[in-house]
Structure 1
Amino acid sequence: MQHLKLSALFIGFFAILGCESGPKTTQTEKKTAKTYPAFIGTYSRKEGHVDGKGEGIYLYQLDSATGYLDKIGVQGEIVNPSFLTPSADGQFLYAVEEIGADVDDAGRVVAYRQAGDHLEKINQQSTFAFAPCHVSTDSKGRYVFVANYVGAIAVYPVAGNGGLGEAIYKEAYTGKGPHSRQDAAHPHSVNLSPDDNFLYVPDLGTDNIYIYKVNYADAKKPLSRIGATKVHPAGGPRHFTFHPNLAKAYVVNELSCSVTVMNWDKTTGKLDTIQSISTLPVDYKESGNTCSDIHITPDGKFLYAANRGHNSIVGYAIDAEGKLSLIDHASTQGEVPRNFAISPDGRFLYAANQNSDNILILSIESDGKLKYRKEEKVFTPVCVRFGN
């Protein structure tokens, strides 16, 4: 009888080992593993569309061997940091405070110095419009760009200490589209081309992607609009990305739940649509799904987009011409994945579930499928970004 009890214990022990999720970490990977700074933005107060419970910006370290996140600090003196972007040199972090039109003040963009387990605030500037929802900076840290959901963009010069000067460019958008949510212009992101020469602004409200030439030599005229590309009617273009190796660009359409693939002319900045593909399973018939985010793995093999409603990450294989073919859908095991990020080494994906207070960590398998790895509890997470 004692022998049977011991056998049962051993069987149970090895069964638990066999249930470990995600890829095994080899000894070589452990020895060469790096840690990366990770920043998680949250909604910190109640707004009309969300019950914000976060404390601000959470600071983590990413272990590249395991994919796990280790919390090291929090920057609490900020309201609704709904989008973040680290500088390319790893010294600074820029965040927008998403303040809605129900308050007297416009939104703000805040500059921080990265200081290990905390952030040191440098300064802040007004975004001159409500609900700033996206921020970016060029690879040399010359300008910071902000998109305000309530119809405007702004450009700021960056000082030597990483701080922001007063806005040197502001543009209000007008127009509307056929969808009920397209009653006005809604620029949703500001995206630089890989060479920093062009800026692309998807406008959810008008189905346009506005194209600008960036002028770094003349701060009096940092942007010159050179054209626009339309997606299909009622598409609602939201977030945008470039292929790391091919001259292709991709936009995720929030309202039509699709990804549009475009040829990108590196000389003129022009975009030409070559494909549009759904983000939802063919048998999914429920209404109310909207798309949020889009990213490509560093090796250029796979593209992922997020569904809010279906609550999934859809994966596609990218062929030699940049076109997409469906791989699979992976549940985010939470509600409303507003944002996600891919680790710098391309091995893991982190989905921020806004309404269920969790970040799901998934491993990216060799075939592009996603596999559950771990869950990290974070209140109202809405942005995940990695530094150097």
Structure 2
Amino acid sequence: MKLLIGGYTKNTSTGIYELPVIPTQDKPGLQLGPAKAVIKLGGPTYFVQDGNLLFTIKNAGDQGGIASYELSQGKYQAKDSYLTAGSSPAYISLNRTQKLLYTANYHTAVLAVFAYTSSGSLTLLDTVTHTADTLGPRPEQSDGPHPHYFDQTPAGNLVSCDLGNDRVDFYQLQNNHLEHRASYQNEPGFGSRHLVFSPDGAYFYVVGELASKINVVKFNEQDWSFTNIATYSTIPADFTGHNGAAAIKISHAGDFIYVSNRGHDSLTVFGVKQDHTLELRQRIASFGQFPRDFNWDQDEKYVVVANQNSNNATLYLRNSEDGCLTPLQKDVSVPEGTRVLFAE
């Protein structure tokens, strides 16, 4: 097992780094070894893997887009790229079964669907551009729509989160064409960023970057009905500094939800009750500045968070009974990290 961390390349980072995951000798557990640059490219702020193929955001000066790499004989080889003028996307996800990629571009407001082959070749299938229909009141929303997430739903549809419009939009891909199906509107100034679904597919939990909140929503993918259940703060009520909630993850069993807080510099842990409402279990420091992404291993036993502004990562042990995190290793050096992914 190994860990991949990538992010911005504005200062010292050169792309995507690999960190070995090493069993400790004196006690059960793991530690992270030194980070080594394994893919050199601009701005790999988000990436995903399908076997030996890796698909990443790519910034190439006045162009932005995505690129594919193949791991062969221990090295990543560039396979293909799709670049257009302007900013690169903020998010990329994949459908391994149908070999599709989905991207959301925060700056250009474009959602895109790509097909990929087993050799890593990329083909654009369709795009949709969000319009300024329901812009929120905050300064970050004044310049237009900002889709920050585009991924699959439990029933095989697609869903995006738009920070500018405070909105969650649902699509179907029919004959390689995106068709809008429904929208769910968050409160003004929420800043809809990312979401996760309950294992039964009947609820989603959307994190608001600008409001530092999680909204619990019951929904039905057959008739596209939505019920607002409850909303919870990811930061303490007495915190007065600036914060932007970022990544959200839900455990495989659906019993715990985790959110990163950039500004409060913490991870917040919620327990999920039987009725899908939440209860606060823990807020723990990220031991760095501006934690954006975090992730866990396949068994959800270990969690790693990357601190973008302090150029370090933190490793935690996760308790599956109460969901809480215990730090195992701090100050793991890795530059400008915004994406964390465990890989075999």
Q: TM-score, normalised by structure 1?
A: 0.81
Aligned-pair CA distance for 1:55: 1.9
Alpha-carbon separation, structure 1, partners of 2:170 and 2:201: 19
- The superposition leaves residues 151-186 of structure 1 with CA deviations (integer Å, 9 ceiling, x where unpaired) of 111111112323211x22122222122111101100
Alpha-carbon separation, structure 1, partners of 2:84 and 2:276: 35
- Does 2:234 align with 1:298? no
Question: Which structure dedicates a bigger proportion of its chain to helix?
Answer: 1
Q: Aligned ranges for residues 151-300 of structure 1 at < 5 Å? A: 151-165=109-123, 167-175=124-132, 176-183=135-142, 184-195=144-155, 197-215=156-174, 218-219=175-176, 221=177, 223-245=178-200, 247-268=202-223, 270-284=225-239, 286-300=240-254
- Does 2:41 align with 1:78? yes
Alpha-carbon separation, structure 1, partners of 2:29 and 2:84: 39
User: Secondary structure, in 3 states, of the residue corresponding to 2:140?
Assistant: coil
- Work out whether residues 14 and 37 of structure 2, in 8 Å CA contact, stay in contact via their aligned partners in 1: yes
**Match in the other structure for 2:15:** 56
Aligned residue type for 1:59: E
Alpha-carbon separation, structure 2, partners of 1:242 and 1:309: 26
- Work out whether residues 35 and 333 of structure 2, in 8 Å CA contact, stay in contact via their aligned partners in 1: no
- The superposition leaves residues 76-120 of structure 1 with CA deviations (integer Å, 9 ceiling, x where unpaired) of 431010001112xx2311100246xxx5x3312011113363312
- Work out whether residues 288 and 309 of structure 1, in 8 Å CA contact, stay in contact via their aligned partners in 2: yes
**Match in the other structure for 1:44:** 9
Alpha-carbon separation, structure 2, partners of 1:371 and 1:152: 39
In the alignment, which of 107, 110, 118 is matched to residue 67 of structure 2? 110
Question: Which structure dedicates a bigger proportion of its chain to strand?
Answer: 2
Alpha-carbon separation, structure 1, partners of 2:73 and 2:94: 21
Aligned-pair CA distance for 1:251: 1.1
Alpha-carbon separation, structure 1, partners of 2:200 and 2:72: 33
Aligned residue type for 2:183: A
CA 1:63 to 1:270, structure 2 compared with 1: closer, same or farther past 3 Å? farther
Aligned-pair CA distance for 1:338: 1.2
Alpha-carbon separation, structure 2, partners of 1:273 and 1:343: 32
**Match in the other structure for 1:48:** none
Aligned-pair CA distance for 1:38: 2.6
Aligned-pair CA distance for 1:385: 1.4
Aligned residues: 334
- The superposition leaves residues 357-377 of structure 1 with CA deviations (integer Å, 9 ceiling, x where unpaired) of 111111112322211111221
Alpha-carbon separation, structure 1, partners of 2:81 and 2:226: 34
- The superposition leaves residues 205-254 of structure 1 with CA deviations (integer Å, 9 ceiling, x where unpaired) of 01011110133xx23x2x21101111111000111112234522111100
Aligned residue type for 1:125: Y
- Does 2:342 align with 1:386? yes
**Match in the other structure for 2:105:** 148
User: Secondary structure, in 3 states, of the residue corresponding to 1:149?
Assistant: coil
- The superposition leaves residues 115-161 of structure 1 with CA deviations (integer Å, 9 ceiling, x where unpaired) of 36331211000256524110011131421111111111111111232
Aligned-pair CA distance for 1:267: 3.1
Q: CA RMSD in A?
A: 2.0
- Work out whether residues 191 and 240 of structure 1, in 8 Å CA contact, stay in contact via their aligned partners in 2: no
Aligned residue type for 1:256: A
CA 1:98 to 1:147, structure 2 compared with 1: closer, same or farther past 3 Å? farther
Find the structure with the greater CA-based Rg.
1
CA 1:233 to 1:67, structure 2 compared with 1: closer, same or farther past 3 Å? farther
Aligned-pair CA distance for 1:380: 1.1
| Structure 1 spans left out of the alignment, 5+ residues | 1-34, 46-51
User: Secondary structure, in 3 states, of the residue corresponding to 1:181?
Assistant: helix
User: Secondary structure, in 3 states, of the residue corresponding to 1:81?
Assistant: coil
Aligned-pair CA distance for 1:320: 1.4
- Work out whether residues 35 and 334 of structure 2, in 8 Å CA contact, stay in contact via their aligned partners in 1: no
Alpha-carbon separation, structure 2, partners of 1:282 and 1:240: 23
CA 1:191 to 1:358, structure 2 compared with 1: closer, same or farther past 3 Å? same
User: Secondary structure, in 3 states, of the residue corresponding to 1:189?
Assistant: strand
- Work out whether residues 147 and 190 of structure 1, in 8 Å CA contact, stay in contact via their aligned partners in 2: yes
**Match in the other structure for 1:349:** 303
In the alignment, which of 305, 310, 324 is matched to residue 369 of structure 1? 324
**Match in the other structure for 2:77:** 120
**Match in the other structure for 1:20:** none
- Work out whether residues 307 and 337 of structure 1, in 8 Å CA contact, stay in contact via their aligned partners in 2: yes
CA 1:304 to 1:317, structure 2 compared with 1: closer, same or farther past 3 Å? same
Alpha-carbon separation, structure 2, partners of 1:212 and 1:119: 33
| Structure 2 spans left out of the alignment, 5+ residues | none
- Work out whether residues 41 and 59 of structure 2, in 8 Å CA contact, stay in contact via their aligned partners in 1: no
Q: TM-score, normalised by structure 2?
A: 0.90
